[in-house]
Structure 1
């Protein structure tokens, strides 16, 4: 049911009223729908309900006052004619409906907060845990690689010293073994030294610049 159907059925249901009273009642609802706007028309019509029910309320209000002459007499007592009395009560009902819709919206918002907040906390906590894990992993790499480099050079020096003692004792096989181990340790030391240099000269500045740039973009947008 659209606006035109509602107004047409309302006029037909109010056929028993005097022309002037019927016109004013219909005009009131036309103005109300105009104020609601096309975007809210369907919701307002749904709230109003069947036009026959609306017409029954109008007719009951009109009968409470009586004919136009009685309505004029009641104007001196209440300051309202039959249609004016109905319009005032209708406005009160619309105000009550608006208040009810606002209360419902607040309740739904509260329910949404209660339901969504734990999920948001879980998601934020999960991402925070992943971020902390990545930071710890990167920090471990930057600490472990230099430590392994120092250990490799320490082993190389130790094997050279052991080879010197072995040479003094005159055992050629052990001398070759310790010299080979010293060369292998030195090779690992060189490799780890190059990796350490790459980490601190290239990778670390790049990560630092990326983090700083990310924070700058975030705070610049906010």
Structure 2
């Protein structure tokens, strides 16, 4: 597969009604085929490294194609302008909180963009900001992280989380978990923040999704010996 048309045909063939129904319950707009993530990964392997094709896939506006674009694109090669465009255009949680966060976290400007997006009035962009920083702390070596900045963000979560829109609350909660799990020197402060915020609630729509209690999640990872063990890559 070398063209966006060929990839779209392949995606359409893999789409099914049940997956479309599931994605719709999770807030996906109508422009989708309903392709399982496992099937998208198979297609991604066939076109990996084709940066221009990834851009074309995202620009189709199709949900499946946009998620696939995130799997294929090398975020380190993307311009700030394009990353900002992807954040603005993301119209589904799987795109704003995963696709956009993945590629932004791979970019040298990732931290700056995350901080900028966190302040956005648009809920999906702010959510992308928190998701991006979560991806950064989960993959970047501790010595390359700005601990003072992360501490300030934890304080922001402690004071502001319950007054934020649903998706931002979820993103902030995930950030606390990410810091507590992947940044061992800050696990103690992350747990303190987790205790302060307690259980975070949000409208998850007609889904079975549950928001994890940050403190319990971090403590579970402690018991399993996972603290400080970085992920090889943000994409999954």
* TM-score bracket for this pair, using the shorter chain length: under 0.3
Q: Which has the higher contact order (CA 8 A, sep 6+)?
A: 2
Structure with the largest fraction of helix: 1
Give the alignment's TM-score, normalised by structure 1: 0.19
